[in-house]
């Protein structure tokens, strides 16, 4: 096996045994990127020099006996997390040349544990999209089938992990943006509980929904990354003061006493039969493993997309007001008045989907429409939260598909925003309710396209997700993905 | 119609954006479709339901008012499209 093919846990062991150094591992990933990324387009920026100097530092630390949890492990970072002195574009022309003067808290935590940051990966512009096709700097391909979407918005993260360019990645999830690309590319992805992980340095899309999380090639690696990034942060006023458990201790707990709920609304019409087959198989595996299976209803599921798009767009319209051409980012130089400068800068800097959401949000918050749209959506959010509260009285985990279909061809749906929004129906509720969610590979379709299984848990119960996901991973024992790159 | 072209034009101005006439027509159609869809929320009686703006009822997170390390002026200005070494520059306002 080549070094870049390993999981984080395997690579850590081999470095501990002296089989290769962090520099050799990093070079093997950089060579892999060099070889395949022209076609794959997962990376927006590759920081070869920075990565190698971090790898040299990691090797020194190791020989001095200071071995961080990610010592010498090469990772990719979604391009909306601030990286000091490394360009951070958010997939948008408006930030094409933006070089942050500081690290996001999660990036800082990765560095402190010895992680090596290879570069920044592609995403839908400002994380608004479900395919990564709204990225202004090249659209990533699905590593399993070229010409197919990676999903989104963390499409570069999922593609870089699945294609063996790096050993893990950080993405962000506002309505499914980690779980959905993880499912479509065949990797593990977790959206933690809202407040578990600091959002400081995460470019805001919808602040009450955004959460940073890991993508990896194994559940064990997911637990390791969760250990590193989870912590209260005084720089994020919504981060929650709660002790971080050692998530790796949950891996081998087994399933005795775990009550697994099957939300009936997630299996309604529109579900691809191959997706349903994979998820049903996952349910049987958990049943055989000793989990108690319970039928659950989340009656307001059909309203989640409408509630979400009003809330997320409203928050986005406010958050994206900061891109005005004054302090950083693109400025239209032709305009001669301040107002005209704002308008021209924003109109030329933002893509169509971002403008669409800013307009929906501005409308929903505008005088005369606030009660009918934003307030109504926030009340429905309360009902959705109530559904989860009731469900978690009767079960610990919810199992379902992540997306109604496997990956689709690039270009489909791109002219129909509503159809695209509706494809997020199975992941959005977790963000509205702030509960943790996870996508774990469940199998492949006849065509070889990956299908993930979604697990959702109660607030701050990521340990149960990891415990259940690990059981699925071990029992399913899937073949490595057949890559088409 | 849930939203007219005139309303979209008004909102576009509020959001400090501009759209060509052709794009305004396309956007009006798309927003109308999306707003017709979200009308679905009207099926639910939410008369007595409190809105949720935040999942955990966190109140203000106060901190001590103490001077700590922050970005230098040079770092703060480094990304500015136009600056004079002391401040950000914008087109003349008055």
**pLDDT tens for each residue of A267-311:** 987 899 999 999 999 999 999 999 999 999 999 999 999 999 999
pLDDT of residue B94: 77
Q: Do B79 and A331 touch (CB under 8 A)?
A: no
Residues A78-106 have a mean pLDDT of: 98
A76, A78, A157, A250: which is the annotated catalytic residue?
A78
pTM score of the predicted model: 0.97
pLDDT confidence tier of residue A72, bands split at 50, 70 and 90: very high
Query: Is A153 considered catalytic here?
Result: yes
- pLDDT number for residue A15: 98
Range A407-424 average pLDDT: 86
Q: Sign of the CA dihedral A310, A205, A457, A423?
A: positive
How far is the alpha carbon of B88 from chain A, nearest alpha carbon, in Å? 7
pLDDT, chain A, mean: 97
Please tell me which residue of chain B has the smallest CA distance to A88.
B79
pLDDT value at residue A446: 95
Confidence at residue B14, expressed as pLDDT on a 0 to 100 scale: 97
Asked if A405 contacts A275 with a C-beta cutoff of 8 angstroms, the reply is yes
A422 band by pLDDT with thresholds 50, 70 and 90 = confident
Interface probe for A, chosen from B12, B25, B38 (most Cβ of A below 10 Å), is B38
Please tell me the predicted confidence (pLDDT) of residue A38.
98
A423 is catalytic: no
pLDDT, average across residues B22-43: 96
**Residue A413 clears pLDDT 90, i.e. is over it:** no
* pLDDT greater than 90 at residue A176: yes
- pLDDT of amino acid A259: 98
pLDDT score of B62 more than 90: no
pLDDT in tens, A192-229: 999 999 999 999 999 999 999 999 999 999 999 999 99
Question: What is the per-residue pLDDT for A269?
Answer: 75
Name the residue of chain A whose CA is nearest to B36's CA: A306
Residue B52 DSSP symbol: -
pLDDT digits (tens, 9 = 90+) for A341-395: 999 999 999 999 999 999 999 999 998 999 999 999 999 999 999 999 999 999 9
pLDDT in tens, B33-48: 999 999 999 999 999 9
pLDDT score recorded for residue A270: 83
Which candidate in A330, A346, A376, A429 is best for mutational testing of the B interface (most B CBs within 10 A)?
Answer: A376
pLDDT band at A417 (very low <50, low <70, confident <90, very high): confident
Q: What pLDDT does A68 receive?
A: 98
Selected for mutation to probe chain B from A303, A346, A363 (highest B CB count within 10 Å) is A363
Residues whose CB falls within 8 Å of the CB of residue A211, separated by 6 or more in sequence, listed in order: A172, A173, A174, A191, A192, A193, A194, A196, A197, A199, A431
Inter-chain CB proximity A382 and B8 less than 8 Å: no
- The answer to whether the Cβ–Cβ distance between A377 and B56 falls below 8 Å is no
Is residue A31 predicted with pLDDT exceeding 80? Answer: yes
Q: How far is A197 from chain B (nearest CA, A)?
A: 14
A71 Cα distance to chain centroid: 23
State what percent of residues in chain A have pLDDT above 70.
100
How do residues A440-483 score in pLDDT, each as one tens digit?
999 999 999 999 999 999 999 999 999 999 999 999 999 999 99
């Amino acid at each position: 096996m080549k070094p870049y093919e390993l999981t984080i846990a395997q690579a850590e062991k081999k470095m501990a045994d002296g089989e290769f150094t962090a520099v050799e591992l990093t070079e093997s990933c950089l060579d892999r990127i060099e070889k395949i990324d022209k076609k794959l387009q997962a990376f927006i920026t590759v920081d070869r020099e920075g990565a190698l100097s971090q790898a040299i530092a990691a090797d020194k630390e190791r020989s001095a006996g200071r071995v961080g949890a990610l010592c010498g492990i090469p990772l990719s970072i979604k391009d909306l997390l601030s990286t000091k002195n490394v360009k951070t574009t958010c997939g948008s022309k408006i930030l094409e040349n933006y070089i942050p003067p500081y690290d996001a808290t999660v990036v800082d935590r990765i560095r402190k544990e010895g992680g090596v940051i290879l570069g920044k990966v592609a995403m839908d512009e400002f994380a608004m999209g479900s395919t990564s096709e709204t990225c202004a700097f090249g659209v990533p391909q699905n590593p399993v089938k070229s010409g197919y979407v990676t999903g989104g918005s963390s499409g570069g993260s999922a593609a870089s992990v699945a294609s063996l360019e790096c050993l893990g990645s950080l993405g962000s999830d506002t309505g499914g943006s980690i779980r959905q690309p993880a499912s479509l590319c065949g990797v593990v992805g977790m959206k933690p509980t809202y407040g578990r992980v600091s959002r400081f340095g995460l470019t805001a899309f919808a602040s009450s929904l955004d959460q940073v999380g890991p993508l990896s090639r194994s559940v064990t690696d997911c637990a390791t990354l969760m250990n590193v990034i989870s912590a209260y942060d005084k720089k994020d006023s919504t981060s929650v003061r709660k002790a971080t458990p050692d998530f790796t201790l949950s891996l081998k707990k087994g399933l005795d006493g775990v009550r697994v709920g099957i939300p009936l609304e997630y299996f309604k019409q529109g579900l691809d039969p191959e997706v349903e087959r994979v998820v049903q198989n996952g349910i049987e595996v958990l049943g055989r493993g000793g989990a108690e299976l319970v039928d659950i209803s989340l009656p307001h599921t059909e309203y989640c997309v409408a509630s979400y798009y009003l809330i997320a767009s409203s928050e986005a319209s406010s958050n994206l007001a900061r891109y005005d051409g004054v302090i950083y980012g693109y400025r239209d130089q032709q305009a001669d008045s301040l107002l005209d400068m704002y308008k021209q800068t924003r109109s030329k800097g933002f893509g169509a989907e971002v403008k669409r959401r800013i307009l929906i949000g501005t409308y929903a918050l505008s005088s005369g429409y606030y009660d009918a749209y934003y307030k109504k959506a926030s009340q429905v959010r309360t009902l959705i939260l109530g559904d989860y509260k009731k469900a978690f009285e009767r079960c610990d985990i919810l199992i379902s598909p992540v997306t109604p279909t496997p990956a689709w061809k690039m270009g489909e749906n791109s002219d129909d925003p509503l159809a695209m929004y509706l494809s997020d129906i199975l992941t959005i509720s977790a963000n509205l309710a702030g509960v943790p969610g996870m996508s774990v590979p469940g199998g492949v379709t006849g065509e070889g396209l990956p299908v993930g299984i979604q697990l959702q848990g109660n607030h701050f119960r990521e340990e149960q997700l990891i415990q259940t996901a690990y059981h699925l991973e071990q029992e399913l024992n899937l073949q490595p993905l057949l890559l088409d790159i | 119609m849930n939203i007219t072209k005139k309303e979209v034009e008004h909102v576009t101005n509020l959001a400090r954006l501009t759209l060509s006439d052709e794009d305004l027509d396309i956007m009006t159609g798309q927003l109308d479709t999306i707003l017709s869809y979200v009308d679905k929320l009207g099926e639910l009686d939410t008369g007595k339901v409190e809105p949720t703006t935040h999942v955990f009822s966190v109140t203000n997170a106060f901190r001590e008012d103490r001077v700590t390390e922050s970005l230098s002026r040079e770092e703060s200005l480094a990304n500015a499209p136009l600056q004079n070494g002391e401040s950000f520059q914008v087109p003349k306002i008055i």
